[in-house]
Amino acid sequence: MKALSNLLLGLAALAAAHGVAMAAAPDPTVQHPDYADPALWLCRPDLRDNRCKVDLDATVVAPSGRLTLERYVPAKDPKIDCFFVYPTVSNDAGWISDFSPDAAEWDDIKVQFARFGSVCRQFAPLYRQGTLRRLRYPAGGAKPVGEQPPPGFGGYADVVDAWNWYLAHENHGRGVVLIGHSQGTAMLTRLIAEEIEGKPVQKQLVSALLMGGLVMVPPDKDVGGSFKSVPLCHADTQIGCAITYVTFRDRLPPPAVSRFGKARDGLRAACVNPAALAGGKGQPESYFITKGFLNGSGGDIPPEWVRPMRPIPTFFVRTPGLVTTECVRSGDFDYLALHVNAVPSDPRTDELGGQIIRHTGVDLSWGLHLMDVDHSIGTLIRIVRKQGETWVAQAPKG
């Protein structure tokens, strides 16, 4: 209880520093939050302040250099649901985040999840995740405020509570797609293994999109490592399967100290290329942030999307045919290699950012972690649309 008390003090100090009253958000020290509370959700269909309802229009930057506006169109009556667990984005000062979201969580929803509203109802719970400060501390960053929380507090327990509340009150037998990135992928990988596989709800799993994390399989197998019965996806009509990958620049493969993609315990890191589910190369449909990257970690590459540069008024750009992706095996590593198609006649950028930048330079161990979702989100949405149609067609009627 001493650790929990110190955690509360740290959260209170952070709230005071930002002029936020603790009473404005759910109690961050409760063991099991009640996810009936709308304040515990970033996206839920009934929310007045639904963070998935944002401007998602994009400027299409064609290979000719022509700029056109693409209007985002949400689904009017989606037949499936999407349940999203976001990556490490919290800038809170403690070891774990509280239940007071800010621009960090809001921006991630906008970039990585909101666009899925064109194919599904959306659910994105807040959870007390490990913070960016906790992540950076072992590498020389500032120590988080307070003591570490007790084992099992927050984090995964919150995700389980949110999932169970969703099943009990919102699902009503509907198919559901699980979507996660980085820390979110770790949470959902565990959720599938412990709470979904082998249970009746597995029949409702349309698919799982698990980007930027570690999903393991036996060599050249589709199932048997992280999951006992959820296989890797190889077609957009396949349901109950998983798409997973970690992204590295094709000319900068994972170093020996890479955080992602490394084989262990006789298992390989799974890699599924959304742009070529059956294998090989493909050109994904990308939606990039027009300027910068989440958390400001990736710099401002490219400085210009098209030459000569012209004003781009939208938050997003879509860049048809700009990149090619392919799953690659190299030594102990399996990863999605991203290649920028630098064509002399194409006036668009020949370079993309997406890497983590430290004060010492680029951290190659993270690869292109910041754009794991961006480079293929349009393709992932197309796949989910087809998988959803397949699931609905096969679901028992009545």
CA–CA gap between residue 318 and residue 380 (Å, rounded): 14
In sequence order, the 6+-apart residues with CB closer than 8 A to the CB of 194 are: none
* pLDDT tens digit sequence for 42-94: 999 999 999 999 999 999 999 999 999 999 999 999 999 999 999 999 989 99
Please state, for a pLDDT cut of 70, what percent of the chain lies above it.
91
Q: Is the pLDDT of residue 2 over 50?
A: no
Cβ atoms of 343 and 387 within 8 Å: the answer is no
Instruction: Work out the average pLDDT over 249-270.
Output: 95
Residue 300 has a pLDDT of 53
CA–CA gap between residue 333 and residue 256 (Å, rounded): 9
Residue 398 has a pLDDT of 60
Q: Is the pLDDT of residue 14 over 90?
A: no
Q: If DSSP codes are grouped into helix, strand and coil, which group holds residue 340? A: strand
Instruction: Work out the average pLDDT over 225-236.
Output: 98
Q: Is the pLDDT of residue 4 over 60?
A: no
Counting Cβ atoms within 10 Å, is residue 52 exposed (0-12), middle (13-18) or buried (19+)?
A: buried
> What is the residue-averaged pLDDT of the chain?
90
CA dihedral 188, 87, 367, 262 (to 10 degrees): -30
Instruction: Work out the average pLDDT over 149-155.
Output: 92
Instruction: Work out the average pLDDT over 132-149.
Output: 88
Angle at 211 between CA 190 and CA 238, to 5 degrees: 85
Instruction: Work out the average pLDDT over 229-240.
Output: 98
Q: Is the dihedral of CA 75, 84, 391, 381 positive or negative?
A: positive
Q: Could you tell me the pLDDT band of residue 302, with boundaries at 50, 70 and 90? A: low
Residue 293 has a pLDDT of 63
Kindly state the DSSP code that residue 148 receives in the 8-state scheme. Answer: P
CA–CA gap between residue 9 and residue 84 (Å, rounded): 30
Which pTM value belongs to this model? 0.92
Q: Could you tell me the pLDDT band of residue 355, with boundaries at 50, 70 and 90? A: confident
Phi-psi region of 93 (alpha: psi -120 to 50; beta: other; left: phi over 0): alpha
Instruction: Work out the average pLDDT over 258-276.
Output: 96
From 290, 144, 295, 112, select the one nearest 210 (Cα to Cα).
Answer: 112
CA–CA gap between residue 146 and residue 158 (Å, rounded): 20
Residue 115 has a pLDDT of 98
